[in-house]
Copies of this chain bind each other. A is one copy, B any other.
Amino acid sequence: MSQLERTIVQTQKVRLSTPDQPFRFECGRELRHLEVAFETYGRLNAAADNAVYVVHALTGSAHAAFYNSPEEDRPGWWDGLIGPGKALDPDRYFIVCANLLGSCYGTTGPSSINPETGDIYGMDFPPITTRDMVKAQKLLLDYLGVKRLRLVLGGSLGGMITWQWLVDYPEFVEAAIPIAGTVQGSPWMIALNEVARQAIFNDPAWQDGWYRGQGPSAGLALARMIAMISYRSDRQFWQRFGRARVKPEPEHQLEFDNWFQIESYLHYQGHKLVKRFDARTYIYLTEAMDLHDVARGYSCLEEALDRIQAEVLVIGIDSDVLYYPHELKATVRTLQKLGKKAQYAEISSIYGHDAFLVEYEQLNHLVREFLEGRPRCAS
């Protein structure tokens, strides 16, 4: 697409709490100045029943589709699914995506400036949960005049937050597609998050979270490198990198500093994140993932899931080694036992967890079929 044909969208901002009406976190603490960055595509119809809420993942932003400027390198992170002729078509739906509470792309988070002190919130920012995130998103939708969501969907942390939507505002959601995301953070995911956090904590530049400026670059890069492995699969690494070296000549075969290309790739990915992300947000959002448990406050998981009124399509990825399909399938079985309209579908991919950002042909097909109401068998 030439730059002339590009659709340009602007990220907007709205203040959702004030000192008079503070935002109350699940932990009981309050935020007097909550600002949320968001984008919308399409228009809310007169019946206000065509809204789709898109939830981004750990390092994502409100910029889900199109371009923010004619010069931008690449479109929004889910542009493959959102756009004219795609499953989420702005000609048909009013699509909303907001930067998560606690993130660093325009929504208030630990690295934002507290207007009352003129300094960052830092580690004094309250612990955030997926319940808090959904609450902030609901405030935004109220502000936008959305009465009910036709669909809420997202992958990874976005999938987890989608589940939280279903339990927290059951009457507000008509349909949902949690993709590669669970109803509770698994100990496996918690383990991977903890080693990533520890990589940041071990960096002397972390300074207990009170750094200003650059911060723990080496630690954040390593956190990303660790996470990147869990986002992919052994087969994808074989296919893309194999045992290729940066210096292929035979005389370099035994040199430690002659990286394998997979090593070079991981370092590249690590440094790329450092340029665009904040370490404090990484800590807060991974903690939110760990704390994620739709059953918190209920006597059991079934009681929480029994609140769901929406029709749910759970999408798993066959090669996902972070949110294994067997966990998602178990949730679908529970929902079906509870008499809910729940189906499971699986993306076939070598890309592992990241398939939800790659396999657009399958994703468009599944989302479109689901929205058009075609029956599907649960596996």
Interface positions of A (Cβ within 8 A of B): 26-27, 127, 129, 184-188, 190-192, 194-195, 198-199, 202-204, 218-219, 222, 225-226, 229, 233-234, 237-238, 241-243, 253-256, 260-263, 266, 287, 290-291, 293, 296, 321, 324, 327
> Which of B188, B254, B255, B262 meets A26, CB within 8 Å?
B254
CA A242 – CA B296 in complex, angstroms?
15
> Which of B192, B202, B290, B291 meets A229, CB within 8 Å?
B192
Those 7 A-B pairs whose CB atoms lie nearest each other, nearest first: A188-B234, A187-B237, A187-B262, A194-B263, A27-B254, A187-B241, A195-B226
Subset of 27 A-B contacts with CB under 8 Å:
A26-B254, A127-B254, A185-B243, A186-B237, A186-B238, A187-B237, A187-B238, A187-B243, A188-B233, A188-B237, A188-B238, A190-B243, A190-B263, A191-B237, A191-B266, A194-B263, A195-B266, A199-B199, A199-B202, A202-B202, A202-B219, A204-B204, A234-B324, A234-B327, A253-B291, A254-B291, A260-B290
Inter-chain contact A198/B225, CB cutoff 8 Å: yes
Task: Assess A127 versus B187: contact at CB under 8 Å? Given A194-B263, A199-B199, A203-B202.
Answer: no
CA A4 – CA B358 in complex, angstroms?
63
CA A276 – CA B194 in complex, angstroms?
23
CA A225 – CA B197 in complex, angstroms?
12
Inter-chain contact B260/A195, CB cutoff 8 Å: no
Other than A191-B229, A194-B263, A202-B202, give 7 A-B pairs with Cβ distance below 8 A. A187-B234, A190-B243, A191-B262, A191-B263, A202-B222, A253-B296, A256-B287
Inter-chain contact B225/A194, CB cutoff 8 Å: yes
> Which of B185, B198, B218, B266 meets A194, CB within 8 Å?
B266
Residues of B within 8 A of A129 (CB): 254
Of A184, A202, A254, most buried by chain B (CB within 10 Å of CB) is A254
Residues of B within 8 A of A261 (CB): 187
CA A312 – CA B229 in complex, angstroms?
32
